[in-house]
Structures are given as structure tokens and as C-alpha cells.
Amino acid sequence: MDDRRQWSTGDRWEGEVGGWRCVRHRTRSLAPFYFHFLFSPPLVVELHPFSRRRAQEMPFEKIKVANPIVEMDGDEMTRVFWKSIKEKLIFPFLDLDIKYFDLGLPNRDATDDKVTIESAEATLKTVLRQDLIVTLEYEAAVDLMVDEVIDDGADLDEARVKEFNLKSMWKSPNGTIRNILNGTVFREPIICKNVPRLVPGWTKPICIGRHAFGDQYRATDTVIKGPGKLKLVFEGKDEEVELEVFNFTGAGGVALSMYNTDEVSNLHPFVTFTSIRAFADASMATAYQKKWPLYLSTKNTILKKYDGRFKDIFQEVYETEWKSKFEAAGIWYEHRLIDDMVAYALKSEGGYVWACKNYDGDVQSDFLAQGFGSLGLMTSVLVCPDGKTIEAEAAHGTVTRHYRVHQKGGETSTNSIASIFAWSRGLAHRAKLDDDARLLDFTQKLEAACVGTVESGKMTKDLALLIHGSSVTRAQYLNTEEFIDAVASELRARLSA
């Protein structure tokens, strides 16, 4: 453009001169630009060192990440945009060594699901995940979220076994990995000012901690096909316990046996489990770090011994290790019944950590995500007992419905924010372990770019529906790739600022 002969009929002239963006406010006129410098009324000229376009064109010196991460790739639609995230938001800016594991269903079946165990073992050294998992070399991971390999995290069922011609109905990779890592999953909303909340009273975030070990997710269940007596038997070194559970009559029914551990449990050659005690310690450490109160919810009035054990260990850990720290910080710990806690959560303003048993955390984390706006606006990080190993993941499933459209060549508008935050949180942990200030700054700007893009009005259809309702038009949202491109543009601008 010829900056010396810029014509305009508006009240504002904007151009670039030698890499400087010049904005000149003036009266309406058709006179040449240079004429106004001589004869126009007083002017206001804004000089900006770099325009957004120039910033995007500036070369970026890649950040060399000192140690690797483990990446666990997943399935369906999340696998599609996970690839775009890496190509547009990660690889252009980071020189990164990745230990890659394909946890897509075909490869899990081909390896008899051994790849899932291998990825979890690698995660003990690194961690990062798409919808399955990514591990940081090691002690940090990012997960794509192959979640249960079914739509929105549903469990593998007989229909899917037939569809993929699987050898077996493989267990959830999430459950396998979490049981090996033995951590606590902390989920927290990603708040965008222009995205309305279904629970408007939630003015502060709520961080939910899900104990990611045992209970229903390591249970043994069976179908009882006729009359008979069900017993629970424990054969210990020093004692034997036999409990009569139920006498079945007629057609029978179903039965379930589940467990958890107080502390040391050598269920895996690479891991020492501290289970309930580690859950308590991780929850209290998170609450103390955030300076938020902590609540534990159970149903100890019904499961007096099982849930009562959680309640007792939490209280012991609090009294012996955290009480003085909490009091000095002006926060507190309290146990509540799960039904009472759900009611309290709905009427609260937020601003606390909510520790849940495995199943409760699975359910209530989705409840919180939707209440804050969307499951696609939720971070998810598994914190392990060693305090060094984490697994960052997206909280949603594999979005099968969108993938079916994608397979047919149709346009999709799938929200990738949670997966982008899986990368940012995993890499942020890598940065803290490596004491890498530049990498940490990158992760913060990546998250800010996501939020800033949405708050500027550029978003996927799910968020546009929350803002505009059922009357949303195609012009009001971006498709899957357009949104990632918009975030990339915003990220480059922030990195060049």
C-alpha cells in the first residue's frame, strides 16, 4: 500500500509505515493523507510498534523443552482436532520430544490392550493426554481423551465390540491408567465472561477433586442366575472373615464387590498406592494452594464402614498435617453428606474445593461443568501421590456424533478448548518441573488466547448456542478448524506483544 497517498471518506485513517501501524483521527475529507498534515485541524496519531498482521508474520524462536512428555492419542473426533492442535498451536512454537502412544481402539485391540498399560507406565515418567493420555518425560502428561472410546465418554458396549470387530470388550483405558497412576482428578471450569452460566449464582470457580482409584471402577460384578447364598470372604494372613450378603431366590439378580485401600498397596510393580490417604493429602494441598475451603462428601450414614473410612482418614490427615496451615490461611475443612453437599453446591457462590469419591466425582464433575456453561469448558488434571506426576486431559468424550458427520465429509463445529487446556496444563507442569519460565509463559498465553478468542465473539457452535439460543445463525460460530485457526492467530499476537 502507498502510505503517502491513502484516501478515505471516514473519520479515521489507518495505515502502516515501516512496520509501524498509524491511526489518524480527523474530519471528513477526500484530501490526500499528506495534505492533512499541513492544513487539517489538530490530529491524534496512535503509533503501534506492530500490527496484529505484522505480529503474525514475525518469526517465533521456538522454545526448547528440556525433557519429553508422553502423549496418549485417542479416538474419533477428538483424534481429528487433537492433530490440528499439535500442528497449529504446539509444534510451531515448541521444540518438544514426545513419547507417543496410540490408544485408539484399533491399536488397543491389536495389542490386547497392552499399549494402555505401557502408556501408564511411561506416564510415571512423563504425562500429557488428548482423549487418552500424554505423558511428560516424565512426570507430566497430556491426554486426548479416548475416554471410554465411545460417544461423550460412554462405556464400551456389545454394539461397539461388534462394530469394531474387537477381540474383547476392553475395559475403560481411563480406569486402567488411573488405577496405575493412583491419583486424584481435579476439574475446574474455564470461565469466559460472555458465556452464560446455567447456575447464575456461581460467581466463583468450584474445583472438584475425584478420587481416581478403586470403588466401582475396580469392582467385580456378576449376574446371579438362580437361587443361592452370596457371601463375602476375606482370607488374611492373621484372620479370615466371612460375611453373608444375601440369599437369592427365584430368578436371581446381580452382585457387586468393590474395594479401596488405606495406604500402601503394591498392585503394580512400578507404583506404591497410598489411595485414601493420598486422596486426602492431595485434596488438602490443592485447597491450601488455592486458599479455598475444602469439603469431603460421602454417604457414611449408609456405608458406615466403607465411607466412614474415608471420613476418618480425611479427619486424621487434617488434624495431624493441615489444620494449623488451614487456620492460618483463614480456610477450613468440613465433611458433608453427599446429598447435603449437592444442595449446598447449587445455592453457593463457589470458591471451594469439593473432594468426592470416585463415582460421585465422575457424576458431579459433569454437573459442575454444565452448570458453569459447558463440559467443553472444563480443565481436568490427575495429580499423583508423588507430587510430581500429573496427567492432563480433556473432560469430555470422543464426540462420536460429530465424527460421523466428519466421516461423510460434512462440516463440524466441535469445541476443542478442553483439549487445548490439556496441553497447556501438562506443559505448564513440565515448565515448573524444569524451571522453564519461557515455557510457562507460553502456556499462560495459550490459555489466554483461547479465552480471548471466545470473548471476542469467535467460538464453536456449542458456545454460540449458549449465548444466542436456538436462533443462532451460521455467521455466529466457527467450524472446528476455523476456531483453532482463530486461537492460533490470537496466540501469535500475544506471543509477539
* Binding-site residue set for Mn(2+): 339, 362
d(CA 31, CA 66): 57
Cell numbers found for residue 276: 485414601
Nearest to 496 by CA among 22, 50, 47, 18: 50
Place of cell 468440613: 334
Residue 492 and residue 497: Cα distance in Å, rounded?
9
**Rounded CA gap, 380 and 122, in Å?**
19
List, in sequence order, the alpha helices (H) in 356-412: 358-371, 400-407
For residue 216, give the nearest of 346, 351, 362 by alpha carbon.
Answer: 362
Strands of 204-305, DSSP E? 206-211, 220-224, 228-235, 240-248, 253-257, 265-268, 271-273, 294-298
**C-alpha cell at position 73:** 492419542
Cα–Cα distance measured from residue 212 to residue 362, given in angstroms and rounded to the nearest whole number? 9
The grid coordinates listed for 12 are 479515521
Q: What 3-state DSSP class applies to 369?
A: helix
Contact of 497 with 55, CB cutoff 8 Å: yes
Please report, in range form, the residues annotated as the binding site.
339, 362
CA–CA dist 283, 296 (Å, integer)? 9
Q: Look-up: residue for cell 470422543?
A: 398
CA distance 441 to 228: 63
Say if strands 265-268 and 271-273 run parallel, antiparallel, or are unpaired.
Answer: antiparallel
**3-state secondary structure (DSSP) of residue 74:** coil
- 308 backbone dihedrals φ, ψ, rounded to 5°: -60, -30
What is the crossing angle of helices 400-407 and 76-85, to 10°?
Answer: 80
Dihedral of alpha carbons 208, 211, 216, 218, sign: positive
